[in-house]
Structure formats: C-alpha cells, structure tokens
Amino acid sequence: MTIRAAVAGVGHYLPDRVVPNSEFEKSLDTTDEWIRSRSGIERRHFAAEGQTTSDMATRAARAALDDAGMTPGDLDAIIVATSTADLTFPSAATMVQAQLDMNHGFAFDVQAVCAGFIYALCNANALILSGQAKRVLVIGAETFSRIMDWTDRSTCVLFGDGAGALILEAVEGEGTAEDRGILAADLNSDGSFRDILYVDGGVSTQTTGYLRMEGKEVFRHAVEKLASTATTALGKIGLTGDQVDWIVPHQANIRIIQGTAKKLGLSMDKVVVTVQDHGNTSAASIPLALSVGKQRGQIKPGDLIITEAIGGGLAWGAVVLRW
Ligand code: UT7
C-alpha cells in the first residue's frame, strides 16, 4: 500500500474588475494588437481598492471546500503560495486560517514567485506522505497589480490578480502510475538569474518596489527549462509526454505555452489555456487553470496531468498528478 496525495476539491476566485488591453492604449504607447500577438493576453482581473491577497485566497478556499464537500474542520493544514502577501507577517496562510474560523492545524506561506504553486504542491505532498497531515488546502493567490510600474509598458500589461485553491487528501494507492494523486515532481532553482526577473524593493530596503523583467531573457529560459522539468518529472514515474491527457502550464505567455507543448510532443488541444482571460497571475495561475479546466469539462477524474511553471529566481518545476 502506498499513500498518495489526491485532489479532493478545487475552486477559484477572480476579482470583479476586468481590464481589457484597450485600457492600456489610453496611458501607454501600446496596442491591443501588440499585447495579444506577443503574449496571448486579452484581458485580466484587478483587485478592488483595499482587496487583499488573503481575501481572494479565502474565497478560492471556500469554493474548493464546497467542491470537496468539506468544511474547514476537515483540514489539517493550509499552504498559500504568494509573493504578494497582505503584510510582511503574519503569513497570508494564517490570515486565511482566521477567515475560515479554523483554530487548529497549521498554516504557512511558500514564496517561489510564479513557480510558487508547484513548490506548495510539493510541500503539501511531503506533509501527507510523511503522515503529518491528511488533508491540506493549497492555495495560489496574488495581487500583482500592486507591484506594477504603470509607466513600464513591457511589464504592466502582462499581469493580473486572482486566486485558486486545491484540497489534497491522503488516499491509498498501489504505487503505480495508475494511482490517483501526485505521482512525481521535479523542483529547480538557480539564483544566478536573479537579475532577469525581480522586484526592486522589499522589507530590508524599506520599500515595496516594482516588478522588473528582461522579458526576452526569461522567455528564452522558459521554454527550454519547462519542457526539461516536465520530461524529468514524467520520467520519475516511467511516463512520457504522449501519455499525458492535459498540460496545465503556468499562464505567462501563449507563445511559451505553445513552445513547451511542442517540445513535449503534445498538440494544443491537450493544453488548458486561460492566459487570454487572466493574464499572468503568478502563483495563482495554475490553480486558476485547474479550476477553470474542470469547470469547462476539460479535466475529468482519472486524467493524467502535467503542470509546470517558471518564475523569478529563477525557480521552476513540474508536478505529475492523476486527477
Ligand atoms: O511568469 C514569469 C515568467 N515571465 C514570463 O514568462 C514572461 C516571458 N517573456 C515574455 O512573455 C515576452 O518576452 C514579452 C511578452 C514580455 C515580450 O515579448 P517579446 O517578443 O520578447 O518582445 P521584446 O521584449 O523583444 O520587445 C519587442 C519590442 C521592443 O521594441 P524594439 O526594441 O524592438 O523597438 C519593445 O520595446 O516591443 C516593444 N514593446 C512593446 N510595444 C508595444 C515592449 N512592450 C510593449 C508594449 N507595447 N506593451
């Protein structure tokens, strides 16, 4: 008998304000056509004034709990992947815990920028496999609109806000690739690339800062590293790209998504794509895509899913799971 961390529920939340590309034409030297053709993004959601990451995370969490038919009392732990927590401390995860009226268990944040949800899934998986938790709520939530330089057309048109949540539960498996749940993972980082994607502020510099990115450089690393980490993760459980039902990639740029699918030998009809509607929501993009993919009827029980992401660090990785 093998313990697996299997998906028990999924949900998401997007703030009400939808901003089409045309909005940026009013204040920047840019066009809807440029943004669409270079990134695939058509619109994104922005949080309302005063709306925080933990507010959105809690709404996504409630949707996932409803989907699982669970209450906060059923959870042992909460992990929030975010780079835009409400406060320096306490963690966004403990704020979610409080908003859910949950006084037991434990909660903490994971910060691996756009790869954050992959890292959080691996943490949750480890907690379940080691017997420290049976049910873990894993959330990706971001308010990247708060760290945009609205005068920088090369970054501010690309990002959005939102939250997605997944509940992982300990189930019994056979130890084969036919099991439900997380089957394999691969994590990587290389801090020597810190200068191509970062925020130029933080607590120890007493500023908040803005996101800075050398887009072309990040793009160049993205396709190669994402295809490589996905192949490595699949290989750990003896699988190859052609056995995958769905790729659920980090939603940064449609050209990166297409390039990665091509390298894995998969056609675009096996890819869950939400970048046109959400923009890049960093750590929230994968759980948002999983939830929307399920709502659309794309992801079904038993499907083999590879999910992968790369972001600031650089940090990147992939998780193989059977839904
Ligand atoms: O989630 C974390 C990971 N992040 C990513 O994966 C993002 C990776 N990078 C990208 O998605 C792409 O590199 C971008 C979408 C950011 C940019 O696309 P690109 O094809 O690499 O364009 P570029 O940066 O080479 O810029 C091409 C031109 C430049 O003008 P010149 O120098 O050729 O005259 C830019 O100044 O496009 C210009 N440009 C714009 N033009 C109109 C840059 N931003 C804009 C804009 N509107 N918003």
> For 138-174, how does the pLDDT look when each residue is reduced to its tens digit (9 = 90+)?
999 999 999 999 999 999 999 999 999 999 999 999 9
162 token code pair: 């939102």
Catalytic residue among 21, 125, 253, 280: 280
* pLDDT tens-place string over residues 238-276: 999 999 999 999 999 999 999 999 999 999 999 999 999
**Cα–Cα distance between 163 and 14 in angstroms, integer?**
7
Residue 110 has pLDDT above 90, yes or no: yes
Section 177-198 average pLDDT: 98
Section 289-306 average pLDDT: 98
Residue 200 has pLDDT above 90, yes or no: yes
Residue nearest to atom 11 of ligand 1 (CA): 253
150 token code pair: 């609205």
Ligand 1 centroid to 126 CA: how many Å?
38
Is 114 among the catalytic positions?
Answer: yes
Is 45 among the catalytic positions?
Answer: no
Q: What percent of the chain has pLDDT over 70?
A: 100
Name residues whose C-beta falls within 8 Å of residue 216's C-beta, 6 or more positions apart in sequence.
Answer: none
Please report the DSSP string for 87-104 in residue order: SSSS-HHHHHHHHTT--S
Is 221 among the catalytic positions?
Answer: no
Q: What is the pLDDT, as a whole number, of residue 59?
A: 98
Q: What is the pLDDT, as a whole number, of residue 49?
A: 96
| Residue closest to 57 by CA, chosen among 113, 18, 12, 16 | 12
Ligand 1 centroid to 153 CA: how many Å?
9
Residue 1 has pLDDT above 90, yes or no: no
**Cα–Cα distance between 100 and 160 in angstroms, integer?**
25
- Rounded to 10 degrees, what is the CA torsion of 19, 296, 99, 82? -60
Q: What is the pLDDT, as a whole number, of residue 65?
A: 98
Residue nearest to atom 44 of ligand 1 (CA): 154
Stated pTM of the model = 0.97
Residue 227 pLDDT class (50, 70, 90 cuts): very high
Which domains are delineated in the chain? 2-173 (3.40.47.10), 181-322 (3.40.47.10)
Ligand 1 centroid to 135 CA: how many Å?
41
Ligand 1 centroid to 124 CA: how many Å?
35
* pLDDT tens-place string over residues 18-51: 999 999 999 999 999 999 999 999 999 999 999 9
Average pLDDT for the chain: 97
Section 284-297 average pLDDT: 98
Catalytic residue among 12, 45, 250, 278: 250
Strand, helix or coil for residue 304: strand
